[in-house]
Amino acid sequence: MIKFIFKAILRDKNRSLLPVIVVALGVFLTIALSGYLSGMLGDMVEQTARFQTGHVKVMSKAYADNVDQMPNDLALLGIYELHEELNADFPDYKWVNRINFGGIIDAPGENNTSKGQGPAMGMAIELFSKSSGEVARMNLENSLLSGKIPEKSGEALLGYEFANKLGVKVGDELTFMGSTMNGSMAFSVFKVSGTVRFGSSAMDKGTVLIDFTDAQQILDMEDGTGEILGFYKDEIFMQEHAVETKVAFNAKYAIDTDEFAPIMKTLADNSAMGMYLGLVDSVAGMFVFIFILIMSIVLWNTGLIGGLRRYQEFGIRLALGEEKGHIYKTMIYEALLIGIIGSVVGTALGVTVTLLMQTYGIDISGMLKDATMMMPSVLKSKFTPQLLYIGFIPGVIAMVIGNMLAGIGIYKRETATLFKELEV
């Protein structure tokens, strides 16, 4: 019977083409929206991890209490021994050093004058270490607008808006003025090796990026760092695994009362990100549920209307002696096949668009010129395994239910009145 119904669907396009198109369109929209929501919400988490928090972060206890102030006078010392411990105990993570600092950047002009000054948010990462993966993690090569990545001591990258504000270009010198870990004044001269678009308007307007070893020298932080960031393998944040790592590490230093003893926190321990992560799954699930519900109603109505329009056909079949139960079953089988065909087509289209959006995305940097918060400038979707089956909920189930309800009318038809109806 299934084979016969399938051939009928393929041959009678006037009856099956529109329902298949409607189902495919509904499933496509369900898949595309679900992938987009996952990508949009997930990108903000990953961008925050790459630029600020890591998946887990090790600091001194005193530094952690004042982390928003970037207190390098409370920095973590003895980092080489600590790295050996971290690599031995948690080999699933890549551990890298970061120093965040602030100061004034001056762009010297002609005749001992200054052509531009501005407050800078400094970030020191392991640029010269190929094993750290920091250049790729922060996507610096693809984000370069001019120049090159620093290759030697004394070179720096600038946010492109900051460079334009100061009126400097690649090869120009800059003077950094700030304070060291010990509270004394710090002065250093850097050469601009390149300008970069970080993907965050706040960083593009005031960030200078230098190598970690340069920052150690300038800020008197030999064998010290502000933070040690840990990134889980494949650069994917796994909240449960991060919490397990934090608990295991902090247990080793639980009885150490020294304010400079190390402590580990996860990305979720950041107050803003903790709240955000708590909302991500629930908000995404709520939106997907609502959209599936809406599409289910639409497709339910499609099946219902399709069944109602065929009452004359059912009357003819009943008049010819076909049993009501047989007509009802063939109607449900037909709806099931149409739902499966439409769902397969819609899922294929939705997954294709999701993968394209995941690879290329949509650039909205022009809309973020005045933004002051960190958020991705390229909106991307994210492929997840659930996209392969989530579209079948409205595509198949709703379609079958609609036809089942429409088919109830078959049992209400009286054979004695069929010929009178057909004459009309």
Residues 43 and 184 in one domain: no
Residue 261 domain flag? no
Residues 22 and 84 in one domain: no
CA atoms within 13 A of residue 53's CA, in its CB half-sphere: 24
Residues 375 and 351 in one domain: yes
Residue 300 domain flag? yes
Residues 138 and 67 in one domain: yes
Residue 405 to residue 403: CA distance in whole angstroms = 5
Q: Which domain holds residue 205?
A: 56-236
Neighbouring CB atoms inside 10 A of 412's CB total 7
Structure tokens at 36: 């987009």
| Three-state secondary structure string covering the chain | CHHHHHHHHHHCHHHHHHHHHHHHHHHHHHHHHHHHHHHHHHHHHHHHHHHHHCCEEEEEHHHHHCHHHCCHHHCEECHHHHHHHHHHHCCCEEEEEEEEEEEEEEEECHHHCEEEEEEEEEEEECCCCCCCCHHHHCCHHHHEEEECCCCCCCEEEEEHHHHHHHCCCCCCEEEEEEECCCCCEEEEEEEEEEEECCCCHHHHCCEEEEEHHHHHHHCCCCCEECEEEEEEHHHCCCHHHHHHHHHHHHHHCCCCCCCCCEEEEEHHHCHHHHHHHHHHHHHHHHHHHHHHHHHHHHHHHHHHHHHHCCHHHHHHHHHCCCCHHHHHHHHHHHHHHHHHHHHHHHHHHHHHHHHHHHHCCEECHHHCCCCCCCCCCEECCCCCHHHHCCCHHHHHHHHHHHHHHHHHHHHHCCHHHHHHHHHC
Residues 11 and 102 in one domain: no
Give the pLDDT confidence score for residue 255 in this predicted structure. Answer: 87
Residue 269 domain flag? no
Residues 32 and 80 in one domain: no
- pLDDT tens, N- to C-terminus, the chain (424 residues): 566 565 655 566 656 677 788 888 888 988 888 888 777 777 777 777 888 888 899 999 999 888 888 888 899 998 999 999 999 999 999 999 999 998 999 888 777 777 888 899 999 999 998 888 888 888 888 788 899 999 899 999 999 889 988 888 898 999 999 998 888 888 999 999 999 887 677 788 889 999 999 999 999 998 899 999 999 877 777 778 888 999 999 999 888 888 889 999 988 887 566 566 666 666 666 776 776 677 667 766 665 666 556 666 666 776 677 777 777 787 788 778 888 888 899 999 999 999 988 888 777 666 655 544 445 566 778 888 888 888 888 778 777 777 777 667 666 655 555 555 555 5
Residue 307 domain flag? yes
Residue 152 domain flag? yes
Residues 378 and 297 in one domain: yes
Give the pLDDT confidence score for residue 271 in this predicted structure. Answer: 54
Residues 337 and 382 in one domain: yes
How many domains is the chain partitioned into structurally? 2
Residue 259 domain flag? no
Residues 217 and 340 in one domain: no
Give the pLDDT confidence score for residue 374 in this predicted structure. Answer: 47
Residues 60 and 43 in one domain: no
- 346 Cβ contact list (under 8 Å, min separation 6): 23, 24, 25, 26, 27, 28, 30, 31, 391, 395
Residues 202 and 77 in one domain: yes
Residue 141 to residue 33: CA distance in whole angstroms = 31
Residue 255 domain flag? no
Residues 65 and 32 in one domain: no
Residue 243 domain flag? no
